[in-house]
Every structure is written in structure tokens, then in C-alpha cells.
Amino acid sequence: EPQPPVVPSCPLPGKICDVVRTERPRSCCGMAMAGFRTAKYQLPEWHRRNAGIYYQAFAAGEEAERGRAEAKHLVKQAAASAQRGQQFSKNTLGQRLQDIQFWRTELQKEIVELDAETNLLAAQKLRLERALDATEVPYAVVIDNLECRDRRQPPDLVIDQVERQLLKEADLIRDIRDLLKRTIIQATTQIRSNRIQKENCELDWSDKVETYHIDDKCISYCPDSTNVQSHPSSVKFEENASTPKSWAQFSHDNISSAEQEKLASVQLRSLINNIIHDASEDLRLQRAAVAEAFDSHCRELADAKLRLEQHLQQILKDIGEEEANIVKLKKAIRDKEAFLKVAQTRLYDRSFRPNIELCRDEPQFRLVSEVEELAVFLEALKRKLMESEQNLKNLEETRMKLEKEIAVKANSIFIDSQKCMGYRLRYPVDLEVASYK
């Protein structure tokens, strides 16, 4: 506040009174009257002293009048200055209240938005946890399918397309579970950051509320207030007091940090949505690929089993025919042996012809030729019988192999179609839907 102007005091002009010194004759009795003359003044001295008293009274009156005028002016100026100062302070406090109200409103808005965003992120984190729980069933199904297919018999225990797709599905589920776990940790960290920043904003907001109440109480004070008193030590500044710039920067930094955390939370929520959607889509596509591989492999197994059964039917038919052929061969051999016995008996009996009758006639040559022909045919029939018996043995072995292969194929079909595909019916339809349940 400007100081009131000071009117310089100027001294009144002084009066100089010259007293004429008179020449008076000296008395011889001066020494005798000395004791009386020291207590008395001369008339000019008396007038001169009265004039001095009058001058001092006049000067004191003028000085008092000037002081009263200066005091009146100073009182008026001090009252106006105090009024202006108090009004200016009140206006400054009012502006300060507006600033505090502005930052308090911004902080409260930020606290509400950050709290709502934290709740949304917590809901997304819950979706992640439910999605992670929902992946346990598909993973158990895949592991069970792989274990069941390991129980296939050696001819069908091959690394086929179904097993490749199942291994790919198991790797995909493991990757998805790892990704969901990492995202849950990231969401937990972000929720903690949101709550810390919200707490900082709430502390700043509570300080603003308390300060607003203090300044609002201060702006209501007036000289007539009954709750005002003297505080001489309140004039000094506190060492830890902030400046208006640092004060506004503090709230601005809190709001800026809250905005950054809120933006990071929004981006994380979007990322969580994309992760759950992409994971659900990848699982759906892989499930379809596994189902297609199972269907294709089951059709191949069914076709192979059908062809084996057809070959088995043919082999059974061939076995029946071969058995009948062996029966015929044996009968033919027996028949030919009977003819051979007849021919040999004839030759034997004719060898007893007497003398000249033991002749190499045409019947003899014919019987010898007949025996030789029958022996050749018998040998051929026996060889053919042996070949037929070996063929029958081969056919029986082939039948056993076919029956074993058919049993293996039936076991593989049962494992793939009944055990694996039947168990895959428990596979969740959609991971994204499961995250809401």
C-alpha cells in the first residue's frame, strides 16, 4: 500500500526584539543593593520575556493546529487506505477462491473419471481371469485326446495330421494362457497405479476443500467481527510455503498424471478386448481345424476298414474255394490211385503168364503206358495238392492279418470318434463368451 504523503513542517519566523540599552548612572550603593537586584528584572526585560511567551504560545498553537490538520488528513487517508486495502485483499481472496474452486472441480472430475475407469479395468481383469479359467477345459481335452491316441495299436500309432493339429492346439492354448497371465499382471499393476494416482488427487482435493473453507472464512471477516484478534507473528512467510506458480503446477501435475494413467487404462482395456477376441478366434479356428482333421482321419479309417473287410470277405471266399479245391484234389488222387492200382494189378497178374505167353503185346505196352501216365498225373496232383494246402495256409494267415488290421482300425475309429471327438463336445463354444460368465 502507498504511504500517505507527509507534509513537511516549516518553522515559524522568529521575532527579534532589540532592547535599547540605557545608560544610567552608577550608584555608589550598588554593592549594598546587589542582593535585591539579582531577583528582579528590568521593565524592558519583563516586556521582552512576555513577548517571548506570547511568541511561544502562538507558535505552539500554530504547530498544534498544523498537527491537527495533518492528523485529520492522515486519519482520513489511513481510513481510505485501510478500506481500499481490505477491499483489495477481499477481492484477492475472492479470486483465490475462484482458483481453488476451479482446481477443486477439476480434481473432483478427475477423481470420478479415474474411479470409473478403474472399475471398468477391474471388470476387464475379471474377464481375463474368467477367460483363463475357461482355457483349462480345452487344455484338458487336448491332453486327454493326445493320451487316448497314444493308446492306439502300433500299426495305427502314427504321427498323422490329427496329432499335428492337436499338438498345435496344445501349444496355442499354452501361449494363450501365458498371454492372459501376463495381461492379468499388467492389469493389476495398472489398477494399482490408478488407485495411487486417485489417492494423490483425493489428497490434493481434500487440501483444496480445507483451504477453500479457510479462505471463505477469511473473506467473511470485517472490523466488526467478534472472532478477530491480533496475531503479530502471522506476518512472516512460512519456509515451506509454495508460490502461486508451484501451487498451480502441483495440481496440474496431479491432473496430468491422472490423465496419463486414465489413458493407459483405456488403452489396456482395448488391448484386453483385442486379446480375448483374438484368442477366442484362434481357438475357434484351431478347434475347427482339429475337428476337420478328426473327420478326415475317421473317414480314412472307415474307408480302410471297409476295404479290409471287403478283402477279408474275398479271402474267406478264396479260403472256402481253396478248401473245396483241396477236397477235389484229394478225391482225384484217390481216384487216380485206384486206376493206378488196377493197371498195376493187371501188369502184376500178366507177369504170371506161362512161357511164351509172357509176351510184350499191345495190352502190355498199353498198361505200362497207362501206369506211367497215371504216375505222372498223380505226381502232378500231389504237387498241386501241396500248393493248394500252402495257398490255404497263406490265405489263413492273410485272414488273420486282415482280422487283426480290422480290429486295429476299429480300435482307432473308437478312439478318434468316440473317445476323442466325444470328449471334445465339452469344449467351450467361445472363449469371449465364457469371459462374461
pLDDT tens digits, one per residue of 268-316: 999 999 999 999 899 889 888 988 998 888 898 899 889 989 999 999 9
Question: Measuring CA to CA, which residue among 427, 402, 237 is closest to residue 314?
Answer: 402
Residue with cell 486282415: 402
Q: Is the pLDDT of residue 421 over 70?
A: yes
Angular region, 111: left φ>0, alpha ψ -120 to 50, beta rest: alpha
Quick count: other Cβ atoms within 10 Å of Cβ 383? 11
| Cell numbers describing residue 382 | 500231389
The pLDDT > 70 percentage for the chain reads: 88
- Distance from C-alpha of 69 to C-alpha of 63, rounded to nearest angstrom: 10
The 10s digit of each residue's pLDDT in 88-144 is: 888 888 898 899 899 999 999 999 999 999 999 999 999 999 999 888 888 988 898
| Distance from C-alpha of 366 to C-alpha of 362, rounded to nearest angstrom | 6
- First-to-last alpha carbon distance for the chain, in angstroms, is 71
Q: Hey, what long-range contacts does 21-29 have (CB within 8 A, 24 or more apart)? A: none
Contact 168, 91 (CB under 8 A): no
Cβ-contact 204, 107 below 8 angstroms: yes
Exposure class string for 407-433: b at 16+ Cβ within 10 A, else e: ebbeebbebbbebbbeebeebbeebbe
Instruction: Supply 309's cell numbers.
Output: 473287410
Do 90 and 239 contact (CB within 8 A), yes or no? no
**Global pTM value:** 0.69
Which one is predicted more confidently, 75 or 235? Answer: 75
**pLDDT value at residue 29:** 46
Spatial CB neighbours of 328, under 8 Å, sequence gap ≥ 6? none
pLDDT per position as a tens digit, 251-263 = 999 999 999 999 9
Contacts of 118 (CB under 8 A, 6+ apart): 191, 194, 195, 198, 265
Check pLDDT > 50 for residue 24.
no
Residue 387 has pLDDT above 60, yes or no: yes
Q: How confident is the prediction for the chain on average, in pLDDT?
A: 84
Query: Grid coordinates representing 211?
Result: 483451504
Mention every residue, 6+ apart, whose C-beta is less than 8 A from residue 228: 221
Please state, as a whole number, how many other Cβ atoms lie within 10 Å of the Cβ of residue 304: 17
Determine contact, residues 318/395, Cβ cutoff 8 Å: yes
**63, 66, 417 from 9: Cα distances, Å:** 9, 8, 122
Say if CB 254 and CB 200 are below 8 A apart. yes
